[in-house]
């Protein structure tokens, strides 16, 4: 990564962490993926039940593989036939791993969901939520974050899932009501009532989309 961008991210991350603190959420900064993995594993006690909601960023830093191979009760919803049981187990997990579709520089997290299993578990249920967020997700404000979440993250996720929506033909959000839309529920996390529940590791890298 260009050294000027590295420096910019180093500075911006401190602003984001300050914003998170003002919202009763914890922020941490990792200089690279390896440091992010080490930090995340230090935050997850061995023996914990852990699950996740489609967090590409957690895969990209090697966290999912480390948890599957480590001394954890990893609830792998992709491997479970009973998706409803997987969803209900997630609400009672010790740790829920997530990324966000976008985040503001003052610490607001924005997420869009189709089935809402991810946004509902972020909102309540799991004792701790651990976000892994690349600095590429940071936007100026909530408007910018909503635009990123819809025009970048959602459009890319639709391609990933092979769904049939207008954005797969145009490459940008067409504000559809297609039966295949994944833009059903929007969660803006601006404050946590519960100290220590929401934790964000910002990573100086481009993670997810
Ligand atoms: S609202 Fe429709 S067109 Fe827009 S990103 Fe979502 S699925 Fe694509």
Residue 79 lies in a domain: yes
Distance 14 CA to ligand 1 centre (A): 33
Residue 208 lies in a domain: no
Full domain range(s) for residue 92: 3-203
| Confidence (pLDDT) at 77 | 86
Distance 171 CA to ligand 1 centre (A): 10
Ligand 1 mutation target, pool 112, 158, 159, 162, most atoms within 8 A of CB: 158
Residues 158-180 have pLDDT tens digits of: 999 999 999 999 999 999 999 99
Q: Which residues contact 104 (CB under 8 A, 6 or more apart)?
A: 19, 110, 138, 139, 140, 141, 142, 144, 145
* 142, pLDDT greater than 90: yes
The arithmetic mean of pLDDT across residues 21-37, rounded, is 98
Residue 183 lies in a domain: yes
Residue 64 lies in a domain: yes
Give the mean pLDDT of the chain. 96
Residue 209 lies in a domain: no
Tell me, what CATH number does 71's domain have?
3.40.50.10420
Q: How many domains does the chain have?
A: 1
Residue 38 lies in a domain: yes
Residue 51 lies in a domain: yes
Q: Is 119 helix (H, G, I), strand (E, B) or coil?
A: helix
At 91, list the tokens: 């609400």
Distance 185 CA to ligand 1 centre (A): 12
pLDDT category, 78, cuts 50, 70, 90?
confident
Residue 111 lies in a domain: yes
pTM to 2 decimal places: 0.96
């Amino acid at each position: 990564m260009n050294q000027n961008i590295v420096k910019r991210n180093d500075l911006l991350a401190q602003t984001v962490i300050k914003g998170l603190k003002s919202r009763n959420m914890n922020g941490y900064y990792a200089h690279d993926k390896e440091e992010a993995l080490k930090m995340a594993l230090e935050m997850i006690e061995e023996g914990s039940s852990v699950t996740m909601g489609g967090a590409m960023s957690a895969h990209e830093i090697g966290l999912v593989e480390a948890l599957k191979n480590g001394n954890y009760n990893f609830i792998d919803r992709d491997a479970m036939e009973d998706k409803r049981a997987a969803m209900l187990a997630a609400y009672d997990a010790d740790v829920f791993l997530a990324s966000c579709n976008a985040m503001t520089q003052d610490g607001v997290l924005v997420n869009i969901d189709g089935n809402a299993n991810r946004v509902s578990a972020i909102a309540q249920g799991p004792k701790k939520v651990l976000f892994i967020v690349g600095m590429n997700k940071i936007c100026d404000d909530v408007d910018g974050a909503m635009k990123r979440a819809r025009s970048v993250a959602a459009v890319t996720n639709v391609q990933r899932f092979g769904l049939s929506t207008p954005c797969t033909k145009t490459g940008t959000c067409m504000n559809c009501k297609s039966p295949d839309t994944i833009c059903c529920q929007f969660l803006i996390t601006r404050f946590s009532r519960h100290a220590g529940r929401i934790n964000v590791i910002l990573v100086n890298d481009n993670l997810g989309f």
